[in-house]
Amino acid sequence: MGQFEITDLVYIVDACATGRAAGRLVSMARAVEELRVLTGDFISPDEVAANELSAVALERGCAVLFDEQPGADILRAP
């Protein structure tokens, strides 16, 4: 894969997959955050983590929801 351990990626995908009538769905916003907590890696770009997680999710038959919003963590003053 790449920057993250495959065992960590599989664990996060399985933990974050939600069961739906149409199949399992993995939210990348949640999965990236969970991967950061598990690995302690808060430096790698979100795109790198999401790319590796989505590849594992797709291999495991999950649908992937790219719901990250750039700048969502920035508070804007009125």
Does the global pTM surpass 0.85?
Answer: no
Confidence of residue 8 (pLDDT cuts 50, 70, 90): very high
Q: Per-residue pLDDT tens for 24-51? A: 899 999 999 999 999 999 999 999 999 9
For 61, what's the count of Cα atoms within 13 Å in the CB-facing half-sphere?
Answer: 5
Shortest CA distance to 46 belongs to which of 71, 20, 63, 74? 71
